[in-house]
Structure 1
Amino acid sequence: MIGKLLPIAGALAFSAWAFSVSNATTEAAVPLPPPALDAPSTQATQPTQETAVFAGGCFWGVQAVFQHTRGVLNAVSGYAGGDKATASYALIGSGRTGHAESVQITFDPKQISYGKLLQIYFSVAHDPTQFNRQGPDAGTQYRSAIFYLDASQKQVAERYIAQLDATHVFPRKIVTQLAPLAGFYRAEDYHQDYATLNPYSPYIVRFDQPKIASLKTLMPELYRDNPVLVAAQGGG
């Protein structure tokens, strides 16, 4: 990712990355059925905010997709899967910290369910059949992973993966990792709202804007034209 590599890599690393971008294919969106099992409906006495944490390649695109999703109150780019001490872009790039580039999604369960978020995640946000990579980005930090917060989220995710694998909607088996969330660590400010702030970036144009367009096309009832931004909430 050009905006992230330039400060920390030399010319050779950048040239290799640029070559991989030019030869990478964009992940195609896949129309999917909703989960047969979803999280229970929120009652009036329950909280109006819940949290989900997903990883699916570069967090710029995943964040952008969910910022354009109705019912999402906030979507923050960050790191999950490793320790707080190694939660920085300069370190996670080694692929040895255990972290994955992730997005913490705060949502209103009265407007959108956890299962619907999963449907978007698997359908348009990334390709869940790619192991430790997405598009031009390779390494464990770009793995497909769901960090569940409780037993209900784990069960819904497990059942949905089994449902999708059983119906062969993807040409290959889903490789998404399921792991309990031990901690989420917000990424550096320059990663927040990146797709919105850099609409002409070649990376965003090629790999992320098509994901947003697919959300609008495949799930128009869940699409919002104006994204909910981290900066607008005093967080960026």
Structure 2
Amino acid sequence: MDREKIALFIDADNAPANKISDVLAELAKLGVVNIRRAYGNWKNPNLTGWEEVLHDNAIKPIQQFDLTKGKNATDIAMVIDIMDLLHTRQFDVVCILSSDCDFTPLATRVHAEGKKVIGFGERKTPMPFVNACTSFLYLDSLEQTDRAPEKKPQNLNQDTRLIRLLRSAIVAVQDDDGWAKLGQIGQHISNHSSFDHRNYGFNKLKDLFGAISLFELKTTNCSQIWVRDKKALKTGHTQPSGKTK
């Protein structure tokens, strides 16, 4: 089976250079990064860190002069190049490394062409851009990929956005008793949002559910993991999907 072709576009003005190895390692799990471009005004001393990693990672620097004081042309240059690339249809995934909300309309447009959009950015990244991506990973979460996080996030029960997302996924795939297969939950979430459990400090979706007291888990059939919403169980409103175990 052919691996997905990935085009990586880096907003060097709004992304740290010391995370590029982690980003490329993550993308290597998905396919081959055929196109690697970093945009910025390379005369700017703030981009020195990027200059040190470009050649080692086969990234092509694209020069963009600051046409107006306090502004840069990086965003528009990236948008133009990505739109040009859309017409070639020689790739499957566009990856945008930036914490800038300006790329939200671009991500939506790429989606309209049937392409995936993978986003990487810092915690300050505005939610409109995060939500516009097929999936989005915060750069600090990449450090936790191969080891357990040193500190678990607190008050997950109070994260209404997260709980709403998890509950809706359970309802979509649950059986008549309110139990849902963990794998089906994860697949449903990935098809409908940019959610990634690693952004919450957990390497596995199972561990995230286990850290939230609003859900219960069980294991059956040779390590098959199931999840059920305790609230729905208490009220009797499991809203079965018609699926059976």
Structure 1 length-normalised TM: 0.26
Indicate the structure (1 or 2) with the bigger Cα radius of gyration: 2
- Higher RCO, 1 vs 2 (CA within 8 Å, ≥6 residues apart): 1
